[in-house]
Structure 1
Amino acid sequence: MSMSKGRGLQANALGTFDTVVMAIAGSAPAYSLGATTAVLVGAVGLASPAALLYCAIPMLGIALAFSYLSRIDVNAGASYSWVGRTLHPFLGFISGWALVVSATIFMVAGSLPAGAMTLALFDEGLAENTALSTAVGACWFLIMLLVVLGGARLTVRAQLIMSGVELVILALFAVLAFIHTDNARAFDWSWLGFSHFDGPSGFASGALIAAFYYWGWDVTSNLSEETRNSRRTTGLAGLIGIGIVFLLFEVFTIATNLILTSKQIEENDANVLGVLGDEIWAGWGGKLLIVSVMLSTIATLETTLIQVTRSLFAMGRDRTMPSALGRVHRTWNTPWVAILVVGAVALVMFIASNALGSVGEILADAISAIGLQIAVYYGLAGVAVVVAYRKMLLKSPVKFILGGLWPLLGAGFMFWIFVESLSELSSAAIAIGIGGLAVGLIPMLWYWKQGSDYYRPSKLDASRTVETDYVPDEYVAAYARAHESPPTDF
């Protein structure tokens, strides 16, 4: 294996269309619907469409924060770099660590449905076998690990195929769902209101799960060092991705309310989309939607691998984690050490997960735990953009609203659902969610004492950046090769 410690990631590998595809694949519409709908319905019942709607508004604020921050700092670590250079390096590390832990947990939460859905194509009874689902899911995970190891171009080609088929199937069933009349309920506008929530804590628990639905679009920021014209492209792609998946989420959760009973949802907690497909199109419907969920799950495993390995690469480069994680393969231009480490840790977690219960039980706790970690690093990014742009926010109403107020409200919402939902979550979900964050204090304090330059950062200040004069791609490529923090006065 040929590798080099001093190389950067492959600059200019992805274009605008590629990054939009990655944003959609990161949120994994079919997977999120198939694996998370039962959890969301269990938390808020018929208010599932409302939870997704009211979470989408602050989530757009966070996407705006990522868009504005990516204009002034191109870094594979994304929020890890931005929060560290605006608020405090300790908070920046926790932000990056939250992504690393949530993504690593997702390796299990995502691989199990991939295995279960693959088995369900042949025999639905096999899908309930946790050990067999884990084994098949682990095989899919290893395949995606090799694809990610092969480089950004190979990764996006795989995504174009998987996400393309997934979206065609979902679009077909979105139309069929609303012309389906057999045994269907009448639509009720209260599903988009607040009446079905069990108080503020009930709303918060639903919003926390809804945050998991949307999570993943920010993979575009982790790919910024590998994207052409990334200062414009990564943020735009994230916003477009959220818009598309929001429409799909709303259509299918409303269709679930219209067509399925609560008993059907409860009995098929890991295969809600397949049951919905059977109701809409008996015989073929369930199989086609199972295929879409399987493809979506495999696709989002790929984007999650990118997020966690690029974040670890940035940490290794900054020496806030072992420096070996910052090594890049000479041929493929990928952080091969980070990829192999994540693969090894995930495989150990696959084995451990078999002791935790059924696929549905594992998913419920994992989704809630990941939701807590998402709320932390999204919320910190929302605050970071306000600090970075503080001297410019009053120069125009657009900057004030899109670069300040909306992201700040999004951050407040994320922190609120974090605190408010704690009373509603299981002890396992809280232990995984908060315990996973607490573990990050160990490497943070260790490498701070070792004198990492990350803990003595140059401040990120948008007023010292000419926003209309973006740095040429050649400069970004040179920066990536040099592994140095970019100057703050671009």
Structure 2
Amino acid sequence: MDDRLTRRLGLGDAVVLGLGSMIGAGVFAAFAPAARAAGAGLLLGLAVAAVVAYCNATSSARLAALYPESGGTYVYGRERLGPFSGYLAGWGFVVGKTASCAAMALTVGAYLAPSLVRPIAVAAVVALTTLNWFGVHKSALVTRVIVAVVLGVLAAVVVAGWAGGDPQAAHLTPVTGHGVLGVLQAAGFLFFAFAGYARIATLGEEVREPARTIPRAIPLALGIALVVYAALAVTVLAVLGPDGAGGSDAPLVAVVQATPWSWLVPVVRVGAAVAALGSLLALVLGVSRTTFAMARDRHLPHALAAVHPRYGVPHRAEVAVGAVVVAVVLLVDVRGAIGFSSVTVLAYYAIANASALTLDRDRGTRVVPALGLVGCLVVAVSLPAAAVISGVAVLTVGALWWVVRRSVSGRG
């Protein structure tokens, strides 16, 4: 049985998949909690999140060029720091991003039909899992369409806010907002919207010329997302003010409602649902590939390491991930799903930066991964206590499973 994947993705596909992961439902939801935490300091929080994301992206790109395999930081940690670090990164990614998948699916339902949130969420998971079964290239084509639609909607929000609203420069100060802790918490919330860039690295085994393509695709996708987020953040704050942005569950909708262009509200709502579908599509791709890599190394059931003989995708891993996401959708709400996801994702990237620190100097400066490692840890512990506790608990369970498994293997 062949357990190698087919290289079908070029630079454009890789950038689009990264954008599809970042410019998704997070951009429609992250500004409200960030504004509540930091007020106008949301802008400074965005800058902090961008710096941490850039460091993570740079470290991931260097490592992906050296290890162009499916699995991302699971592979990097294993090769540079040892099996346990790789396993813990993979565990944190799979568990945290599975919860993110559920959150995205629930977001689709919440925007399309609040009274049918869970049935629509389940239908979305089933539909996208089926799409992934028929090949990653088809998924990239769908993501390209989704990204184009969402960017159009976001551009409409910015134009409406500045042309038809009442933007005020005074709403953009003070940049320190509610203090250092508030800015760091805002950075943590906004980092959730950035976190998809490394999805490109997790697809490393399916990218053509990975040593050249991945280091170019990750920073390019991140840069485009940052420009979009900065434009939206300034628009939301200028039109609504810090209190208005923090008090709205859908601040982009609130911006349009504050203008004579309120006919755009349904368009923004549909755009949010489409964005959530795009994020869900890319998330399922990334989680299934990491599951595939861990199963191939027997950290998860080896049966999940199968590759479909016709479509060249890890079909069993995709079905397993889809089934778990459906179960989570039926059991939790959006806040519960996202609560510990942010902490585990930051832990995942902390391991990526620690892995990059072990590279020779000829592969780049060590300042960037060092800054990324510190940034991930500081932002993670600055998040609300409930999120930190739940995230640490998940990582602890994973570590205990590693110990039990190694003990059983040793006795065997």
Offset of 1:136 from its aligned partner? 1.1
Q: Is the counterpart of residue 7 in structure 1 residue 19 in structure 2?
A: no
Provide, for residues 113-165 of structure 1, a one-character-per-residue CA deviation record: whole Å limited to 9, x for no partner: 1111112xxxxxxx3x4xx2122122112111111121111101111111111
Q: Which residue of 2 aligns with 1:367?
A: 338
What corresponds to 1:382 in structure 2? 353
Q: 1:430 to 1:419 in 2, by over 3 A?
A: closer
The reply on whether 1:197 has 2:178 as its aligned counterpart is: yes
Query: Using the alignment, how far apart are the partners of 1:326 and 1:210 within structure 2?
Result: 34
Q: How far does residue 83 in structure 1 lie from its aligned partner after superposition?
A: 1.1
Distance in 1, Cα, partners of 2:211 & 2:376: 25
Contact map agreement 1:20 1:237 (CA 8 A) in 2: yes
CA contact (8 A) 1:277 1:286 kept: yes
Greater percentage in helix: 2
Which one of the candidate residues 316, 329, 337 is aligned to 2:295? 316
Shift of 1:184: 3.0
Partner residue, 2:394: 436
Asked if 1:155 is matched to 2:139, the reply is: yes
The Cα shift of 1:447 comes to: 4.3
Alignment of 1:408-423 (within 5 A): 408-421=370-383
Matched, 1:184 2:164: no
Instruction: State how far apart, in whole Å, the 2-side matches of 1:377 and 1:221 are.
Output: 13
Displaced runs of 4+ in structure 1, greater than 4 A?
261-267, 449-452
The Cα offsets for residues 190-238 of structure 1, whole Å up to 9 and x where unpaired, read as 35x3x21333x33322221121110111111111111111112122111
Among residues 107, 121, 125, which one is paired with 2:101 in the alignment? 107
Q: Deviations over 1:67-122 (max 9, x none)?
A: 11111111101111111111122111111111111111112211111111112xxx
* CA distance 1:426–1:138, change in 2 (3 Å): farther
**Cα offset, 1:261, TM superposition:** 5.0
1:333 aligns with: 312
Conserved 8 A contact 2:380-2:388? no
Q: 1:371 to 1:323 in 2, by over 3 A?
A: same
Cα distance in 1 between the residues matched to 2:351 and 2:358:
11
Of the three residues 283, 290, 293, the one matched with 2:272 is: 293
Q: Which amino acid aligns with 1:378?
A: Y
TM-score for both structures, normalised by structure 1: 0.79
Match of residue 21 from structure 2: 26
CA deviations on 1:10-35 (whole Å, 9 max, x unpaired) are 22x11111111011011124x22212
Say if 2:83 is the partner of 1:64: no
Question: Is this contact kept in 2: 1:10–1:152, CA < 8 A?
Answer: no
Q: Could you tell me which residue of structure 2 aligns to residue 141 of structure 1?
A: 125
Aligned to 1:87: 81
The one-letter code sitting in structure 2 at the alignment partner of 1:83 is G
CA 197–406 in structure 1, closer or farther in 2 if over 3 Å, else same: farther
Q: What amino acid does structure 2 have at the position aligned with 1:22? A: L
User: In structure 2, how many angstroms separate the alpha carbons of the residues matched to 1:346 and 1:173?
Assistant: 31
Query: Is the 2:168–2:238 Cα contact (8 Å) retained in structure 1?
Result: yes
> Residues 28-43 of structure 1 correspond to what in structure 2 (within 5 A)?
28-29=23-24, 31-43=25-37
Q: Deviations over 1:418-446 (max 9, x none)?
A: 2343xxx143x234322222221244234
Residue identity opposite 2:351 in structure 1: L
For the structure 1 residues 265 and 189, does the alpha-carbon distance in structure 2 shift closer, same or farther, using more than 3 Å as the test? Answer: closer
1:266 positional shift: 5.3
Are the structure 2 counterparts of residues 448 and 389 from structure 1 closer, same or farther at C-alpha, using a change threshold of 3 Å? farther
Contact 1:67 1:235 (C-alpha < 8 Å) held by counterparts? yes
Q: Which residue of the other structure, out of 141, 149, 154, is the alignment partner of 1:165?
A: 149
Instruction: Find the residue that maps to 1:256 and give its secondary structure.
Output: helix
Deviations 1:282-330 (A, max 9, x none): 3322122222211111011011001110001000111111111111111
1:340 to 1:281, Cα distance in 2 relative to 1, 3 A: farther
Structure 1 pair 61–281 and aligned structure 2 pair: CA distance change class (3 A): farther
Structure 1 position 48 matched with structure 2 position 42: yes
Contact kept in structure 1, 2:172 and 2:238, CA below 8 Å: no
C-alpha contact (below 8 Å) 1:276/1:286 kept by paired residues? no
Gaps in structure 2 of 5+ consecutive residues: none
CA distance in structure 2 between the aligned counterparts of 1:7 and 1:98, rounded to whole angstroms: 23
Question: 1:214 and 2:194 equivalent?
Answer: yes
Cα 1:289–1:415, aligned 2, differ >3 Å: closer, same or farther?
same
Structure 1: 5+ residue stretches without partners: 120-126, 357-361, 394-398, 453-490
Q: Displacement, 1:409?
A: 0.6
